[in-house]
């Protein structure tokens, strides 16, 4: 006799077997190495004397940084190799020449031991100068090996105190090395001079700048940047969109970068043949201080201006990168040599610069274009937004229906036996 417990166990086993196909697709296994170098992140923390200031949620800037680092270390993806470098942490004296050499690798870039890294961070105490330029040079040297993605995240509450070694020129020098290294910067003080310096450093390597004034904001920003390091590395192609579709460049499948002015729009063209599908995604980064509440819009329209499909996203200031995307399947044609359709992609943003912030150059954007063979008749369900996993959903629905029928039949059978007894 089939008991309720056995039936439930059977249904659970069925669902587990079905979902196993999603968790481990054919040809892949959990923990299987990809053969690519691990992404690397070097966190560079300002430990100069000004980090003693109490203006971060009632505590010192140093305390906020330590708390943020501990939370970031807990959340760092396993595949990311992470290191921590300090500046101004060791020399408390007045000798400028000595103070401008005060940078050290607190925790080496490599596989993360969270306990050891946290113990190292706990020993930090605000001490000396602010040698940003020298620290960036050393941080770049820490990341020379390997071909994976490389990222420096600089966190500072003050300008460099070791001129004439200009940190912005140092960042340009690092970019010129061609090692694929990105520098992101976070300022702990809403200071115009600091903002300009940190923005310049970030822009030189294609990174981002953000100003944070609260501990949770600092944690969120650093987590975003560490997670971003784990994204696959693709070399983008620089392009220049136009102010109208008629003058726009024609793009093929690939990753493109451009700059878009605040509140403006850019146009690009893509040729889509019958039976093909256009997939496009857009990311716009706020690489300088912007006012809260902003959005991006990606539209696909015909050359005559009729909208085909759109993707849009909005934010209230919690993230420095905003992304959206769209899909457009071009219906197959009975004509053997049917012409391709020119689709116009329009990129629009509603960012506005904060007071005193330069609006040029425009905001950095990344546009991914993918033109592929469209779904077959058997895959038409994907056009309703179910994607390639529609078959699994269908199997689960059928399994649930059959399990329900079986459960109902067993219940009626048991009730009938009870009545006869």
* Nearest of 196, 134, 193 to residue 167 by alpha carbon: 134
* Nearest of 358, 252, 344, 361 to residue 300 by alpha carbon: 344
Average pLDDT of the chain is: 82
Other CB atoms within 10 Å distance of the CB of residue 59? 13
Proportion of the chain above pLDDT 70, given as a percent: 82
- Highest mean pLDDT (candidates 154-158, 290-294, 322-326, 364-368): 154-158
Q: How confident is the model at residue 105 (pLDDT cuts 50, 70, 90)?
A: very high
User: What is the rounded average pLDDT of the residues 412-419?
Assistant: 68
User: What is the rounded average pLDDT of the residues 208-217?
Assistant: 87
pLDDT over 80 (residue 257): yes
Say if residues 285 and 374 touch (Cβ distance below 8 Å).
no
Beta bridge partners of 313: 296
User: What is the rounded average pLDDT of the residues 215-238?
Assistant: 82
Res 314: pLDDT: 86
**pLDDT tens digit sequence for 27-80:** 333 333 344 688 999 999 999 999 999 999 999 999 999 999 999 999 999 999
Using a cut of 0.85, tell me whether the model's pTM lies above it.
Answer: no
Structural domains in the chain, CATH included, are 40-229 (3.40.50.410), 242-379 (2.60.120.380)
User: What is the rounded average pLDDT of the residues 173-185?
Assistant: 85
Q: How confident is the model at residue 383 (pLDDT cuts 50, 70, 90)?
A: very low
Res 415: pLDDT: 62
Residue 142 phi/psi, 5-degree rounding, is -65, -20
Say if residues 288 and 198 touch (Cβ distance below 8 Å).
no
Res 234: pLDDT: 63
**pLDDT tens digit sequence for 264-303:** 999 999 999 999 999 998 888 887 888 888 899 999 999 9
Res 25: pLDDT: 37
What tokens appear for 305 in the block? 């201006």
pLDDT over 60 (residue 7): no
DSSP 8-state class, residue 158: S
Higher pLDDT, 30 or 185: 185
CB contact set of 127 (below 8 Å; sequence gap of 6+): 47, 48, 49, 88, 89, 90, 91, 92, 102
Q: How far apart are CA 65 and CA 63, in angstroms?
A: 5
Higher pLDDT, 208 or 392: 208
* Nearest of 187, 182, 227 to residue 202 by alpha carbon: 182
């Amino acid at each position: 006799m089939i008991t309720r417990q056995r039936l439930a166990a059977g249904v659970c086993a069925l669902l587990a077997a079905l979902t196993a196909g999603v968790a481990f697709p054919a040809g892949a296994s959990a923990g299987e190495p990809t053969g690519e170098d691990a992404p690397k992140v070097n966190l560079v923390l300002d430990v100069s004397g000004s980090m003693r200031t109490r203006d971060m949620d009632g505590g010192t800037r140093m305390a906020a940084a330590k708390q943020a680092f501990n939370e970031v270390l807990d959340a760092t993806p396993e595949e990311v190799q992470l290191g921590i470098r300090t500046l101004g942490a060791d020399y408390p004296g007045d000798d400028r020449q000595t103070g401008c050499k005060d940078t050290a690798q607190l925790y080496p870039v490599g596989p993360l031991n969270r306990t050891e890294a946290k113990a190292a961070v706990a020993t930090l105490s605000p001490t000396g100068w602010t040698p940003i330029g020298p620290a960036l040079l050393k941080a770049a040297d820490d990341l020379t090996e390997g071909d994976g993605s490389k990222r420096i995240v600089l966190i500072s509450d003050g300008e460099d105190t070791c001129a004439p070694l200009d940190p912005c020129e140092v960042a340009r020098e690092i970019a010129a090395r061609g090692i694929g290294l990105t520098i992101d910067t976070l300022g702990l003080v809403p200071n115009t001079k600091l903002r300009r310096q940190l923005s310049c450093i970030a822009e030189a390597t294609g990174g981002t700048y953000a100003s944070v004034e609260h501990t949770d904001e600092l944690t969120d920003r650093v987590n975003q940047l560490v997670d971003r390091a784990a994204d696959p590395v693709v070399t983008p192609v620089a392009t220049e969109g136009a102010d109208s579709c008629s003058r726009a460049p024609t793009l093929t499948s690939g990753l493109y970068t451009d700059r878009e002015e605040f509140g403006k729009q850019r146009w690009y063209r893509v040729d889509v043949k019958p039976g093909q599908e256009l997939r496009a995604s857009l990311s716009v980064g706020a690489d300088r201080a912007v006012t809260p509440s902003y959005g991006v819009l990606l539209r696909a329209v015909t050359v005559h201006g009729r909208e085909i499909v759109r993707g849009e996203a909005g934010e209230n200031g919690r993230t420095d990168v905003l992304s959206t995307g769209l899909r457009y399947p071009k219906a197959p044609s009975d004509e053997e040599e049917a012409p391709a359709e020119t689709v116009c992609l329009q990129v629009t943003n509603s960012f506005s610069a904060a007071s005193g912030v330069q609006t040029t150059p425009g905001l950095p954007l990344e546009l991914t274009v993918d033109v592929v063979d469209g779904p077959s008749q058997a895959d038409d369900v994907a056009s309703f937004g179910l994607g390639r996993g529609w078959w699994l959903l269908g199997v689960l629905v059928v399994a649930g229906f059959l399990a329900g029928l079986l459960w109902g039949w067993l219940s009626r059978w048991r009730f009938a036996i009870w009545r006869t007894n």
